[in-house]
């Protein structure tokens, strides 16, 4: 895919087993390009430089993305190769199981790059990052572990042990089979960036692309009373122009329903005030919103909020 002076947003896509000269999955060029990927997976792509990403000027962001089994024909940057990039962001990404022992995962030439809440583990690589002039400018709440060329080496050395960064086994469910979800005992659970919104199970953010759902662990099972607040699944979801959620109240309550983005910023207030018992339809209108992932959060005063993930496609 070539993004030339363009700014598309990609949500919930898989880029698998592609082969290209530069940029196995995506090639981004031009200073005005600003491309985002949310909930995307880059698996088994091959290129001369940058099996997932080749960036020449322009900016790109990845949220909740997986990069795995990338390889190179020659060149550098098993995951990413960036040359005069404007900015690169990795938030809640998992980079694992890549396959080139002689190349860094990221080769950055004068490309300021921020990495947060991510896992870089169990890769064959010469180093996680190699940079010239400008490379990694921020790195926080990230686990780097078990990479063949070293972990906190080169431009990452200054971030070792600070800003919530650690070197510990992330305990993937089954990395041999390419399953990089977290096992129940993973130290990446609830140790992510506390400034990010909570996971959908309403616990502190986990590191990496896949959070561990703790809502069904049965440890603190509640007695089976009718819930004061229940939410029906949004329909349609993903949505384009609008989507609707039905909220049912067992009794009259003060209720707040809001839409927030993945950074926890409030986007819209959908319903607020005392509402009578019964079913209430809450509509989310997409006008004025950019494509991407949003969270609908409903809360009765003093009780746990209920959260639903909404995907807006345009």
Residues of this chain that bind Ca ion (CB under 5 A): 190, 199, 203, 206
Q: How far is the CB of 200 from Ca ion (least distance, A)?
A: 9
Specify the residue, 18 or 186, whose C-beta has the smaller distance to Ca ion.
186
Q: How far is the CB of 215 from Ca ion (least distance, A)?
A: 10
Distance CA 187, CA 207 (A): 9
| Helix residue ranges per DSSP H, the chain | none
What's the token pair of residue 115? 């990495």
Question: Which residue has 């947003």 as its token pair?
Answer: 9
Contact 284, 260 (CB under 8 A): no
Q: How far is the CB of 224 from Ca ion (least distance, A)?
A: 25
Specify the residue, 213 or 261, whose C-beta has the smaller distance to Ca ion.
213
| Strands 266-275 and 26-29, sheet pairing | unpaired
Specify the residue, 173 or 289, whose C-beta has the smaller distance to Ca ion.
173
Contact 182, 121 (CB under 8 A): no
Residue nearest to Ca ion (CB): 203
Q: Among candidates 290, 296, 242, which has minimal Cα distance to 269?
A: 296
Distance CA 189, CA 212 (A): 7
């Amino acid at each position: 895919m070539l993004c030339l002076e363009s700014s598309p947003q990609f949500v919930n896509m898989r880029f698998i087993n592609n082969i290209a000269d530069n940029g196995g999955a995506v090639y981004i060029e031009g200073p005005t390009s600003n491309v985002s990927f949310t909930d995307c997976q880059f698996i088994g792509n091959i290129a001369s430089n940058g099996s997932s990403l080749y960036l020449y000027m322009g900016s790109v962001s990845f949220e909740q993305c997986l990069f795995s089994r990338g390889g190179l024909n020659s060149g550098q940057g098993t995951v990413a190769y960036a040359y005069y990039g404007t900015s690169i962001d990795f938030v809640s990404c998992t980079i694992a199981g890549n396959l080139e022992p002689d190349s860094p995962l990221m080769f950055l030439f004068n490309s300021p790059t921020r990495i947060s809440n991510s896992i870089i583990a169990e890769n064959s690589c010469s180093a996680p990052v190699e940079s010239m002039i400008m490379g990694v400018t921020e790195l926080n709440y990230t686990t780097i572990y078990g990479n063949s060329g070293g972990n906190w080496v080169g431009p990452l050395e200054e971030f070792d042990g600070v800003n919530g960064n650690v070197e510990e086994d992330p305990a993937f469910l089954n990395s041999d089979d390419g399953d990089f979800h977290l096992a129940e005992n993973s130290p990446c659970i609830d140790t992510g960036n506390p400034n990010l919104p909570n996971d959908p199970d309403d616990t502190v953010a986990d590191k990496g692309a896949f959070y561990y759902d703790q809502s069904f662990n049965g440890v603190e099972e509640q007695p089976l009373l009718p819930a004061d607040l229940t939410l029906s699944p949004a329909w349609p979801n993903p949505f384009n122009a609008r989507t609707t959620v039905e909220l049912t109240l067992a009794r009259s309550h003060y209720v707040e329903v809001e839409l927030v983005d993945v950074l926890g910023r409030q986007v819209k207030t959908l319903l607020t005030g005392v509402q009578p018992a019964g079913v209430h339809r809450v509509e989310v209108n997409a006008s004025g919103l950019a494509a991407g992932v949003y969270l609908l959060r409903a809360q009765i005063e003093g009780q746990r909020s209920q959260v639903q993930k909404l995907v807006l496609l345009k």
